[in-house]
Amino acid sequence: MAKINIDGVQNVEISKKIPCEKPIEQQLEIMENYTRTYQKYIDAPKAKREIECLKTIYPILFRSIEDDDLIAGRLDFLPIGFGAVTSVGGVGHYCVFHKLRAFKEELPQSEWARVDALYDFWQDHDVKTLYCQDILNDTTTGRFIDCTYPFMATARLSGMILDYQKLVTQGINGILHSIQNDQEDPFIHGCIEALALFKDVIKAQIELCEQAKKNKEQSRIKQLEQMQDDLAYLLEHKPATFRQALQLFWLYALCAGCINYGRLDIVLGPFLKRDIETKEISEEEAYDLIRSLWKMIENRRTTVNGRIIVGGKGRKDQEACDLFTKLCLRVCKNTRYVEPQFTLRFDHDTDPEILDMAYDCIASGATYPTLYNDDVNVPAVQYAMRVSEEIAEQYVPFGCGEFVIQGKSIGTPNTLLNLVKILQLALNQGVDPMDGIYKAGPVEVKPLASFQTFDQFYDQYKRLLDYYFELSVQAQKHSYTIMNQEVSFLFNSILMDDCLGRKKALLDGGVEIVGGTNETYGNINASDALYTIKTLVFDQKKYMLDQLNEAALANFAGYEKLHKEIMALPKYGNDEMDCDELANDLFEYIAKGIRQKGIDHGMDYYLIVISNNQTNTDWGHETHASLDGRKKGVYMNPANNPQGGNSKNGPTAVLNSLARFDAKYHGGSVQNIKFTPRMMHEDQEKVKALFKTYFKKGGCQLMVTVVDRGVLEDAQIHPELYPDLIVRVAGYSAVFVNLGKDVQEELLSRTLYD
């Protein structure tokens, strides 16, 4: 048996997955075939083992074409298989153990032994489990998502945003011809076989189109024949049309296991412009194709992913890109799906019509596009990642807002820190008051009575943070070591610079820029708690530090007067300079410390990302009361925003606070805000002026939810009346009624501006 708990949920899943199309017996046979193939090639080079395993799931796991699909490509995944991320399966050769257990219950009892055999084998070979066996322990480090620890670690290859421009400009054969044909090199041979397998996938889609023609009207048959013609053309030629480029990109993303798609205006815009100019396609036909892509992304149900980015600096054919962008904005406004996470990069030269369309889309309640300010982010990325301006212009946010360079860097967030729990270790001589376990490692944690100044206590907190920074970077690097030990990620490597040129797999020295991100939680709770300590203990000298801590340990029961006093203190998010400066001081200490740890350990970059994917709520459940006034078990603040209910001075004040964090020290930050439809429509010019000022003052990003006052409360009582009510949780959107009540309550706590 494995030494760790491998059976728990491994990621947040809000959207209900679409069940596998294959009969359950066939699903079991596919997983057994995959496992037998792995066993057969267990001692072979990893690239050889990988490609042989991929042949057992591609193209068989592709689903039937649905009646309104205008491009081909729907893919199932099973509890055992190959992937890059936990949102659609797992990483590398994976087994999702809790899903395999659930799968077993659907079979007749006579077949259970077959599943048990699979379960037992993969305990020793699942890539994530191998990583967890090395990294996890009983005190400091838990697996994502075990929130009893101050630090969580995982293995995944999130944020794989490939160079699809290379794919659509060269085509399959063009890439094959560019490969240095060294059949003796297992990696190169694996890449060649992967592209051959990709052609088999395309051939299978042609057959699925043929099957889909049965009993269909002539208009639908014509659409399917167009699909077949495009697919057949792509087997031997590079794309010549928008439809073909879209088709090729989409199928490749599925095979690579990628769930974020990058700057599609650069990839597809030139094809769209050419087709419209030659009347190959009309704008309405292009709109329909993009809308079909939107639905297929939504149907993958990856919750926090599905990023499509448009706009911004570094686009050669801006006219073509803007044409694609405007069509996407129309689709986004009309569909109002949870995914894709449609994202607009903009700068001072952005077409005003595009910005107007974006504001209209947001005002409609779509929650998209999310807004990224290139005038701030490009120079910030240049500094943070230590790259040229030209490379920095190709930054893309993925998932919950982390940055990578499209086609050039990995930056997967495989580490997460709870800043509130670590602060509580500083207050309790290394003991987590939630469970009484010592979690400070070798750090000497002095008693509270020993501190004569605020800086002395703050330094103790910083020593603990330093210890956890070191744990983080070691865990991040080891995730790459284990993944590289087991797999080559062939499909990903082919479209990442410069794996083919170096003849090396993605994590084996092939990718140009090796980065990572560390998700931080409770940032503002921690800084507000520090402000309480500084003000009440060391500035005003109204209480002893141990008195404050005793109140928190009692969850403020019997200390109601003190709790009221704490809550009345200035809080981050109200444009209170002293409070905001302390928040910024903590932010910069953590951001700079994490970044330097990455540099010291030989990484090109290792940056914090200030986001949340409901982990602020889940981790809050396992975190004791904090000295910002937050009660035991209550959600922590969302991302870079104030704790719910603490924003008292209006939207201008909160945006002023948000803008004080310098973007060059982090690798992505989530800024959420809620407005009523009345404000977004009747006061639209005021809102635009507010946003413009925020971005001019250094605001890097903004995510806006537009909802009527009282609607969310009513949706809790009458969920059946609100099946399509979309809200911005943090780094992702969700249907409100699909969220757990605890997450709903956290959303309700956020100030709604009217």
Q: How many structural domains are present in the chain?
A: 1
Range 451-471 average pLDDT: 98
- For 486, counting Cβ atoms within 10 Å of its Cβ (0-12 exposed, 13-18 middle, 19+ buried), the class is buried
pLDDT tens sequence across 483-536: 999 999 999 999 999 999 999 999 999 999 999 999 999 999 999 999 999 999
Residue 121 lies in a domain: yes
In a domain, residue 354? The reply is no
Q: Is residue 144 part of a domain?
A: no
What pLDDT, on the 0 to 100 scale, is given for residue 625? Answer: 98
Confidence check: pLDDT of 183 > 90: no
pLDDT in tens, 414-424: 999 999 999 99
The pLDDT value recorded for residue 2 is 45
Residue 3 is predicted with a pLDDT of: 52
**Which two structure tokens, joined as six digits, stand for 86?**
């936990």
pLDDT in tens, 342-389: 999 999 999 999 999 999 999 999 999 999 999 999 999 999 999 999
Task: Determine the pLDDT at residue 5.
Answer: 58
pLDDT tier for residue 1 given thresholds of 50, 70 and 90: very low
Asked whether residue 9 carries a pLDDT value surpassing 90, the answer given is: no
| pLDDT higher than threshold 70 for residue 325 | yes
pLDDT at 612 over 80: no
* pLDDT score at 255: 98
Distances (CA, A) of 92 to 187, 499, 534: 15, 18, 48
Give the percent of the chain with pLDDT over 70.
99
The domain in which residue 126 lies consists of 24-134
* Assigned domain for 200 exists: no
Least confident range from 388-392, 589-593, 719-723: namely 719-723
pLDDT at 732: 84
Closest CA to 412 of 609, 618, 253, 187: 609
Phi, psi of 262 (to 5 degrees): 80, -155
What is the overall mean pLDDT for the chain?
A: 95
pLDDT in the model for residue 7: 73
Q: Determine the Cα–Cα distance for residues 618 and 620; give it in Å rounded to an integer.
A: 5
Asked if residue 40 is part of any domain, the answer here is yes
What's the pLDDT at 180?
74
Looking from the CA of 535 toward its CB, the CA atoms found within 13 Å total 18
Residue 51 inside a domain? The answer is yes
Distances (CA, A) of 728 to 287, 329, 369: 25, 18, 11
Residue 11 has pLDDT above 80, yes or no: no
Inside any domain, residue 437: no
Average pLDDT estimate for 402-409: 98
Buried b (16+ CB within 10 A) or exposed e, 64-85: ebeeebbbbbbbbbbbbbbbbb
Q: CA-CA distance, 512 to 527, in Å (whole number)?
A: 36
Does residue 677 lie within any of the structural domains? no
